[in-house]
């Protein structure tokens, strides 16, 4: 039953847009300035081709203390989500990678864990379940916990990179994680009431928005993106609104409405025009309502 519930949870993230409700934090876009393209990192020696197409990377005997990673893959304009993008992930557990990719272990090991690939949905979102990666020695120091990524669109413009976690004491001594170019790939972990961890990692590819296959795009989705995110006084909300009148709510991560503005029209809105006062540091939800029905939600943060 627990396995079923976890699979249902991941499926629900896509089907009812609950990706937007998961707590997260991204480092401010200070290094990249106006260029949001995700920076690269080393591939490492333990990547193997043709990973399984799965979103649950954990073996069945693990029934608690999961790590749920969610995010959106965007085009180079920093605001257009990319549907059907490939996200390939792999990482170590207790200092060891999947035994099929570790030449020091039994090469006949049949199971494949802590590695897989997922495709973004029609709104550019992806999600997977795993556990917090273990550390291993790199010479005399430990590499920080990290998750390897390969992301691409239609087998082109591939980026190979790594995701790190804020507060990891091994980041400072690691030559890759401590690099200035990695700062936007260090994300914050949030713990829920079930002791599961959550993080968000958005990926920005060197893909032109006009080159996307528009047939994948869901016209029912109203919110295209919020950028920059984490927000500042210039942050704008990009919509597929078609000049309809909508209501925008700003909620906390538990869904409590903090601000509400009705009768909004247009496809581009400055977020500061909606906020009535400065929000405390934290995670929030932008919710769109049309005809008193919830139509779309998107997460944003205040640093």
Q: Which of these three, 209, 244, 265, is where a domain ends? A: 209
Residue with tokens 């690269």: 40
Domain that holds residue 119: 2-209
Question: Residue 21: inside a domain, yes or no?
Answer: yes
The 3 state secondary structure assigned to 255-288 is: CCEEEEEEEECCCEEEHHHHCCCCCCCEEEEEEE
Domains contained in the chain, number: 2
**Same domain assignment for residues 173 and 259:** no
- C-alpha distance across the termini of the chain, in Å: 39
Nearest one of 297, 214, 189 to 250, comparing CA atoms: 297
CA of 199: how far to CAs of 2, 163, 164, 267, in Å?
21, 10, 10, 29
Question: Residue 237: inside a domain, yes or no?
Answer: yes
Cα–Cα distance measured from residue 83 to residue 94, given in angstroms and rounded to the nearest whole number: 34
Residue with tokens 């273990």: 134
pTM: 0.70
pLDDT averaged per 10 residues in sequence order, the chain, 303 residues: 45 42 36 70 90 93 92 90 94 72 37 86 87 93 96 93 96 97 91 84 93 62 80 87 86 81 89 82 80 75 73
**Same domain assignment for residues 241 and 265:** yes
**Same domain assignment for residues 96 and 136:** yes
Indicate which CATH number applies to the domain containing 257. Answer: 2.60.40.3080
Output the CA torsion sign for 132, 134, 135, 136: negative
Q: pLDDT tens digits for 153-192?
A: 998 899 999 999 999 999 999 999 999 999 999 998 878 7
| Burial grade of 75 (CB within 10 A; 0-12, 13-18, 19 or more) | buried
Instruction: Quote the pLDDT of residue 2.
Output: 43
Helix (H, G, I), strand (E, B) or coil at 2: helix
Question: Residue 214: inside a domain, yes or no?
Answer: no
Sheet with 115-119: strands ordered across: 115-119, 86-90, 146-153, 156-165, 186-187
Q: pLDDT tens digits for 122-141?
A: 778 898 999 999 999 999 99
């Amino acid at each position: 039953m627990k396995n079923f519930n976890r699979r249902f949870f991941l499926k629900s993230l896509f089907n009812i847009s609950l990706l937007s409700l998961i707590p997260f934090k991204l480092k401010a876009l200070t290094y990249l300035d106006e260029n949001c393209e995700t920076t690269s990192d080393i591939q490492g020696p333990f990547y193997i081709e043709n990973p399984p197409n799965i979103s649950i990377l954990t073996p069945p005997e693990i029934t608690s203390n999961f790590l749920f990673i969610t995010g959106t893959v965007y085009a180079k304009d920093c605001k257009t989500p990319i549907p059907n993008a490939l996200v390939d992930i792999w990482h170590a557990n207790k200092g060891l990678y999947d035994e099929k990719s570790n030449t020091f272990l039994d090469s006949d090991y049949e199971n494949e864990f802590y590695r897989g690939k997922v495709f973004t949905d029609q709104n550019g979102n992806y999600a997977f379940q795993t556990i917090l990666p273990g550390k291993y020695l790199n010479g005399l120091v430990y590499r920080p916990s990290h998750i390897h990524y390969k992301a691409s669109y239609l087998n082109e413009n591939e980026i190979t990179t790594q995701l790190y976690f804020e507060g990891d004491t091994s980041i400072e001594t690691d030559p890759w994680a401590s690099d200035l170019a990695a700062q936007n790939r260090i994300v914050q972990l949030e713990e829920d009431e079930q002791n599961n961890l959550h993080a968000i990692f958005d990926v920005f590819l060197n893909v032109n928005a006009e080159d996307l296959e528009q047939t994948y795009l869901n016209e029912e989705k109203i919110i295209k993106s919020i950028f920059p995110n984490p927000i500042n006084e210039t942050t704008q909300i990009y919509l597929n609104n078609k000049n309809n009148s909508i209501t925008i709510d700003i909620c906390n991560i538990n869904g409590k409405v903090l601000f509400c503005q009705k009768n909004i029209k247009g496809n581009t809105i400055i977020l500061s025009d909606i906020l009535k006062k400065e929000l405390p540091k934290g995670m929030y939800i932008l919710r769109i309502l049309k005809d008193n029905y919830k139509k779309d939600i998107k997460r944003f943060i205040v640093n």
